[in-house]
Structure 1
Amino acid sequence: MPMTIRFVRFATPRTMTADAYREFCWGVSLPETPTGYGLLCGHDDAGQLGTAVLDDVEYARLLTHSGGVEVPTEKVVAVLDDWPNLHAEATSVWD
């Protein structure tokens, strides 16, 4: 899905509580890893929200400072239909 990236977030053991990270991984059917995942949150041409999940956190970190970059499909390990809620006060990642 071609997507305009609005912002980049991170789902990692360092940026989330253990329970929230475990819930995120469970919700996207991905294994827990020591480095976690980079999340490219954006929308398609029709305005539909979506999140591309990358297993290369450092590559995702580079994208926070880049605009108009096309992400190679081999970097994307999952695509979500919405944006996960990663705010510390959230009761669930999927609120």
Structure 2
Amino acid sequence: MLWEAHLRAPFPESFRGVDLDGVDLVLLDADVAGLVLRELGGTLDGHWIAVLWARIAELGKVVPLIEEEYCVSYFTGLAELARLAAARHLPAATD
């Protein structure tokens, strides 16, 4: 399971305390992890869904700025987790 793999993966040491384009990567990681846990527990409500989408946008902004291979892999996986958690909260298509 992707979530379990993420839990086993160590946070990139070289990115502790790093801020990319105004985004603190440690806080981003912690926020997404907490939001994924809320989704898995069935407690991701409207407020937290909005926060999750904001974190997905931040991941989309910072991942292209990362050059270290492991860090790219780590945050790409985090982005995938976030998108999976958000998937059932997409607005319905309307005509």
Give the shorter-chain TM-score range.
Answer: under 0.3
Q: Which has the larger radius of gyration?
A: 2
Please give the TM-score of this superposition, normalised by the length of structure 2.
0.25
Higher normalized helix content (fraction of residues): 2
Report which structure shows greater RCO (CA 8 Å, sep ≥6).
Answer: 2
Please give the TM-score of this superposition, normalised by the length of structure 1.
0.25
Higher normalized strand content (fraction of residues): 1
